[in-house]
Structure 1
Amino acid sequence: MRIVFDFGGVVFRWHPASFLARLWPHRIETLEQGAAAAATFFQNYGGDWGLFDQGLISADEVVRRIAARTGWSRGDVAAVVRAVPDELMLIPATAVLIRDLRAAGHTLHFLSNMPEPYAAHLAKAHPLGEWFESGVFSSHVKQIKPSAEMFAIAERRFGVPPQELLFLDDHPANVDAALSRDWQAFLFTDTASARRELVSRRLLSA
């Protein structure tokens, strides 16, 4: 079985509501306000941010567009864009899960919507080549999940039939897209529950 990991929220910390609350205490007082601001800022990873994810616009351009669209200051928006790499901290429990899956003989890949500057940061900061046989960053192929083409690119890159791929992602739309292409997939909510699911599928021992 080939196991495919999403990155943000699965391998690396990504919780936009609390992230924005920490960065913008002058603007956000509660997690509810943080969630609302994140929905406006990231547009569910479509819109301006989706273009950034696809590598179609630069960091400077996404700052300009978000500031123009929202009325938030360029300084505030730029602070968020600059801070994302530090926010993408490795989740220790997932690092252990990756180690255990590799020790069990599974081949691992990744499939991540990730703007080019952040993809470069992760590749420099972590031994991705040791953990994963191969992977696809959206900004490198100019596509994003949940598009069918993004999954088709991954299938070609990974070199096995879709039925041999098991995908872990924290967004339901991405899980549904994988299932529609005959991948195996389940929604990642936390590492402990993912481990239980992998044990139930007899991919890990209890």
Structure 2
Amino acid sequence: MKVVFDFGGVLFRWHPPSFLARVWPHRVADEQVGAEVARTFFQAYGGDWGAFDQGLADAATTADRITARTGWPREEIVAVMEAVPQELQLIDGTAALIQDLKAAGHTLHFLSNMPEPYADHLEQHHPLKDWFVSGIFSGRVKQSKPYTPIFELAVEQFGAQPQDLIFLDDHPENIKAATALGWQAVLFTTPEAARVSLQERGLLPA
């Protein structure tokens, strides 16, 4: 079986409310405020940030656009953007899951909405080529989830029929898009819950 991993919030830590509370303590007093600020900053990964995700705008242009849209000082926008790589810490439980799936004989791929600078960082700091046979970063293919073209590209690149792919992602809209195209999918919440779901599907021993 081919198992496809999302990255942010699945293999690498990505929790914007707590991230912004750490990076912007003068603007974000707690995670509740952080959730509100995140909606403005990241626009649910549409708008300015969505273009950055898709490789349609570079980091400098994205900072300019967010500054113009929000009125926040550009140097503060840049500080958030430059802090993202440090936020993307490896989730140990998911790394263990990857090793166990590989040991069980499954083929692993990734499908991640990730701007190019952060994709470069992850490749430089983690053994992605050891973990995954192949993968797709949105910023390099100019497409992103939950839109159909990136899933179709993945099916072609991964050399599989949709029904032979099991996709782990933490965003319900991405899961919905994948299943609509015939993929199997697991909504990721924690590594432990994902492990149980994969055991129930017979991919891992109980």
Provide the TM-score with structure 2 as the length reference.
0.99
For structure 1, list consecutive stretches of 5 or more residues without a partner in the other structure.
none
The residue number in structure 1 matching 2:41 is 41
SS in 2 for 1:90: coil
The residue number in structure 2 matching 1:169 is 169
Q: Cα offset for 1:30?
A: 1.6
Q: What are the superposed Cα offsets for residues 40-66 of structure 1, whole Å, 9 maximum, x if unpaired? A: 100000000000001111101111101
The residue number in structure 1 matching 2:128 is 128
Q: What are the superposed Cα offsets for residues 20-77 of structure 1, whole Å, 9 maximum, x if unpaired? A: 0001111111211000000110000000000000111110111110111011110111
Inter-partner Cα distance in structure 2 for 1:140 and 1:78: 21
Query: How many equivalent residue pairs?
Result: 206
Structure 1 segments (4+ residues) deviating >4 Å = none
SS in 2 for 1:202: coil
Q: Verify: 1:181 aligned to 2:181, yes or no.
A: yes
Task: Give the superposed CA RMSD.
Answer: 0.5
Inter-partner Cα distance in structure 1 for 2:171 and 2:194: 14
SS in 1 for 2:167: strand
The residue number in structure 1 matching 2:150 is 150
Letter in 2 for 1:17: P
Identity %: 61
Q: Cα offset for 1:84?
A: 0.5
SS in 1 for 2:9: coil
Inter-partner Cα distance in structure 1 for 2:25 and 2:72: 14
Letter in 2 for 1:182: G
Q: Cα offset for 1:116?
A: 0.3
SS in 1 for 2:93: helix
Letter in 1 for 2:182: D
Q: Cα offset for 1:78?
A: 0.4
For structure 2, list consecutive stretches of 5 or more residues without a partner in the other structure.
none
The residue number in structure 2 matching 1:198 is 198
SS in 1 for 2:146: coil
5 Å-filtered alignment, 1:61-72, equals: 61-72=61-72
Inter-partner Cα distance in structure 2 for 1:72 and 1:187: 34
The residue number in structure 2 matching 1:101 is 101
SS in 1 for 2:4: strand
Q: Cα offset for 1:127?
A: 0.7
